[in-house]
Amino acid sequence: MKYRCGRCGGIIDSKDLEILPGIRCSYCGYRVLYKVRSPTIKRVKAI
Amino acid sequence: MEVSILEYSDKYLKALVRNVPLPLINALRRTIIAEVPTMAIDEVLFIDNTSALYDEIIAHRLGLIPLKTDLDRYKMPEEVGCKDITQCREVAVRLILDVEAKDDIRVVYSGDLKSEDPEITPVSDKIPIVILSKGQKIALEAYARLGRGREHIKWSPVSVSVFKYLPKIEVNLELCTYCGECVKACPRKIFSIEGDNIKIGNIINCILCRACEEACPTKAITVSWESDSFVFYIESTGALPSKRIIVEAFKILKNKLLQLQKKVMEATK
């Protein structure tokens, strides 16, 4: 699973997050991260 | 049975039906709502969606967009044994939505859906789906197929399918004082008084509220209805013309009755 930093825009893997204590961008240390949408196609029923 | 058409266009039909039993006209009403097939989006493949709405909400909104339907060229999935509608060309139509708000906020409308079949398109181009703020985008493939209203209301060809009893208003002229209270009370403006005469206008407009009965000081007015005459009204979503909806409903009803007859005959042999 990948996350995008809210400040520098860097893409961080969830495994990288486990290296540092707390949830922080491994490039700039910013604490706001956004989940990146999976590149796979998502199938949804229109109900 | 006597039928007279009161109002008619592709979008709606209003008819006065006389000498027909209540269960029969109710069966027709219910068949129209739940059995006449139409096209609607059923599966959505999301490639990208950075809008504020969840994929599921957008899929739900897409499903509710009425699509112009061609009943002669497409089949129900169960008729051809189709398990996955994205793989069956004779069953489903693909519509593509690929919109990005590049410079400013943008509303995505039903008109942005590009259909592979030019005859299966949204009834209106102006149905809003989602608002994209600058930089957001949405890309998806939607698959529409035939279905019936009993499965999901998105497949119902009508927004309105109703009937009411034909009202009957009787005025006892021996008791009437022509005071005009009924004229004031009637919300549908059915009554009028001209000199020493009370006139009842278009009875079909009466909503059986009985305000005239209550307002009449001498109790000269009696409101009732005819038990075997009905005002029948349907309003199409635009998926099918109103005439075609009625024709298809009768076909389906007839087939069901024939099936019942066959089963009864087989069981009682």
Q: Can you give the residue ranges of every domain in chain B?
A: 2-34+159-233, 39-155
Q: How confident is the model at residue A20 (pLDDT cuts 50, 70, 90)?
A: confident
d(CA B269, CA B263) in angstroms, rounded, equals 10
Q: Which CATH architecture fits B2-34+159-233? A: 2-Layer Sandwich (3.30)
Report chain B residues whose CB lies below 8 A from the CB of A42: 45-46, 55
Nearest residue, CB atoms, B42 vs list A37, A42, A46? A46
**Nearest by Cα to B253 from B38, B28, B76:** B28
Q: How confident is the model at residue A41 (pLDDT cuts 50, 70, 90)?
A: very high
Q: What is the pLDDT of residue B194?
A: 86
Q: What is the pLDDT of residue B162?
A: 97
Residues of chain B with pLDDT under 50: none
Per-residue pLDDT tens for B104-157? 999 999 999 999 999 999 999 999 999 999 999 999 999 999 999 999 999 999
Number of helices and strands (H, E) in chain B?
6, 12
Determine the residue of chain B that is closest to A37 in CA distance: B48
Report chain A residues whose CB lies below 8 A from the CB of B63: 46-47
Which residue ranges make up each domain of chain A? 2-35
Q: How confident is the model at residue A3 (pLDDT cuts 50, 70, 90)?
A: very high
Q: Are A2 and A12 in contact (CB under 8 A)?
A: yes
This complex has an ipTM of 0.81
- B44, A44: Cβ pair inside 8 Å? yes
d(CA B121, CA B44) in angstroms, rounded, equals 16
Nearest residue, CB atoms, A46 vs list B47, B48, B59? B59
Global model pTM greater than 0.90: no
Q: Which two tokens stand for residue B195?
A: 């000199």
Q: What is the pLDDT of residue B269?
A: 84
Helix, strand, coil abundance in chain A, percent, nearest 5 = 10, 30, 60
Q: What is the pLDDT of residue A22?
A: 86
Determine the residue of chain B that is closest to A41 in CA distance: B47
Looking at the domain that runs over B39-155, which CATH code has it been given?
2.170.120.12
- A46, B49: Cβ pair inside 8 Å? no
Residue A21 reports pLDDT greater than 90: no
Mean pLDDT taken over chain A? 91
Nearest residue, CB atoms, B63 vs list A41, A42, A47? A47
